Amino acid sequence: MGILNVGSQALQANLVALQTAGNNIANVNTVGYSRQRAILETVPGQFTGAGYIGKGVSVQTVLRNFDAFLNRQSTLATATQAADVTRSDYLTQLGDIFQGGASGLGAGINDMLNAFSDVASAPTDLTARTVALTRVDETARRMRAASQSLDDLQNGIGQALNEKVNAVNTLAQNIADVNQQISQAQGGGNRPMTCSTNATSSSAN
């Protein structure tokens, strides 16, 4: 029976290796797929008076091959790009609030100060006073509009942050669920798929 068990285990182990290779071929055009490889290990031998007798081979685990450094760099680059895009979008909105030109807040303040200068030069001129009051009202209107736009922008940012926090919490919960499933699989004697970086293998739950 010994030789039959050794042969049976060898067939099963190499069948897993063939299935893994077939899975790699089937997913050759799958975006984001990482190549896998079956890691075989020798079964501990049985000690006899004549020494240890080999008991065949078994599958230790199935590794997912990837480059950890490139993976980290890709993640950092993606995060930086996303941050830059978001920052650019909000800065553009902020620039629209404080836009230049004759209708901008800066032009309104400048016109108001010029009107005050005219009043200071001719305090008894009713026309200059009227123009100054008009400029003050116009500047105040533009300031209120800018303040309301800033409040709307702040509220939008706060809402977006809340949505991102909820998304992160959801992902964290999903990761916790996966870790629980891995723990249950290990408790049942199964081995979850692990990862390797080129020639170096490391477990990743």
Do 55 and 92 lie in one domain? The reply is no
Please check whether residue 65 is in contact with residue 38, taking contact to mean a CB–CB distance below 8 angstroms.
Answer: no
Domain-located, residue 33: yes
Do 110 and 169 lie in one domain? The reply is yes
Overall number of domains in the chain? 2
Helices (H), the chain: 2-26, 68-97, 105-121, 126-187
Domain-located, residue 31: yes
Percentage of residues in the chain with pLDDT exceeding 90?
A: 36
- Per-residue confidence at 34, pLDDT binned at 50, 70, 90? confident
Do 110 and 162 lie in one domain? The reply is yes
Do 153 and 86 lie in one domain? The reply is yes
- Per-residue confidence at 192, pLDDT binned at 50, 70, 90? low
Do 76 and 61 lie in one domain? The reply is no
With 60 as the cut, is the pLDDT of residue 202 above it?
no
What is the per-residue pLDDT for 203?
A: 38
Domain-located, residue 188: no
| pLDDT (mean) for 166-185 | 90
- Per-residue confidence at 24, pLDDT binned at 50, 70, 90? very high
Please check whether residue 64 is in contact with residue 194, taking contact to mean a CB–CB distance below 8 angstroms.
Answer: yes
Higher pLDDT residue, 186 or 64? 64
What is the per-residue pLDDT for 138?
A: 92
With 90 as the cut, is the pLDDT of residue 49 above it?
no
Do 94 and 132 lie in one domain? The reply is yes
Domain that holds residue 42: 2-65
Q: What whole-number distance in Å separates Cα of residue 176 and Cα of residue 87?
A: 31
What is the per-residue pLDDT for 134?
A: 92
Do 55 and 77 lie in one domain? The reply is no
Do 79 and 52 lie in one domain? The reply is no
| pLDDT (mean) for 6-19 | 91
Per DSSP, 43 falls in state P
What is the per-residue pLDDT for 101?
A: 82
What is the per-residue pLDDT for 190?
A: 60
Radius of gyration of the chain (CA): 35
Q: Tell me: the pLDDT tens digits for 126-175? A: 998 899 999 999 999 999 999 999 999 999 889 989 999 999 999 999 99
Average pLDDT over all residues of the chain: 84
Domain-located, residue 195: no
| pLDDT (mean) for 79-87 | 91
- Per-residue confidence at 193, pLDDT binned at 50, 70, 90? low
Domain-located, residue 187: no
| pLDDT (mean) for 63-70 | 82
Do 82 and 151 lie in one domain? The reply is yes
What is the per-residue pLDDT for 2?
A: 75
Please check whether residue 41 is in contact with residue 57, taking contact to mean a CB–CB distance below 8 angstroms.
Answer: yes
